[in-house]
Amino acid sequence: MSVQPIRLFGDPVLTTSADAVTTFDKELRVLVKDLTDTMVDAPGAGLAAPQIGVSLRVFVYDVDDELGHLVNPVIGVMSDEEQDGEEGCLSFPGLAFPTKRRQRVVATGFNMHGDPVTIEGSALLARCIQHEVDHLDGILFIDRLDPDQRKAALRAIREAEWSGLTAPVVKVSPHATGGLAV
């Protein structure tokens, strides 16, 4: 069984900065497969390793029929141009809020075999890459909302039926930030 339970907001692994992958071994390939199977099963457009409880810098994506993964990703070039759109997260079931992101990004990293990889993304893929790299830094999409939307999000989270299933108190992520982390 490689579909894993998805960790929900409130689980401390989601607000912990993940460790870099240092060994490109079978364990890593199993992790990429588990992430991919879990994302496809959900279904979702992306999934980061902390979302299945593994604090390593790995994410997978499935955007515009392009299925991929990136290990130890670093976002380099980002356009100044922004995009608006509803964004959700598999760790916040059923919730989505308008979230500003950059329109284009270039991310570098490695595939599961340790070969260098560069991904250029715009629109939805760019949004996905920014969202997933944030996960690896312990930053959640609600940290990117404007103050009014953030208030609405926290209220919706408190009222969500899954709220409090993983932690006794729903806490605000400590990583509130004004700009994109690169």
Q: Among all residues, which ones are annotated catalytic?
A: 132
CA distance 115 to 97: 36
State which of residues 31, 52, 89, 133 lies at the interface with Zn ion (CB under 5 A). Answer: 89
Considering beta carbons, is residue 117 or 136 the nearer one to Zn ion? 136
CA torsion sign for 65, 66, 69, 70 is negative
Q: Between residue 102 and residue 161, which ones bind Zn ion under the rule CB under 5 A?
A: none
- Specify whether the CB–CB gap between 58 and 31 falls below 8 A: yes
Per CB under 5 A, which region of 2-10, 16-24, 81-89, 109-117 contacts Zn ion? 81-89
Per CB under 5 A, which region of 20-28, 64-72, 89-97, 98-106 contacts Zn ion? 89-97
Considering beta carbons, is residue 32 or 133 the nearer one to Zn ion? 133
Q: Which of 137, 171, 136, 175 is nearest to 154 (CA)?
A: 171
Cβ 47 to Zn ion, closest distance in Å? 7
Considering beta carbons, is residue 104 or 127 the nearer one to Zn ion? 127
Considering beta carbons, is residue 45 or 117 the nearer one to Zn ion? 45
Q: Which residue has the tokens 């308008």?
A: 98
Query: Does residue number 95 form part of the binding site for Zn ion (CB under 5 A)?
Result: no
Per CB under 5 A, which region of 73-81, 87-95, 98-106, 114-122 contacts Zn ion? 87-95
Size of the site for Zn ion (CB under 5 A): 1
Q: Which two tokens stand for residue 54?
A: 């593994």
What does the binding site for Zn ion look like in residue numbers (CB under 5 A)?
89
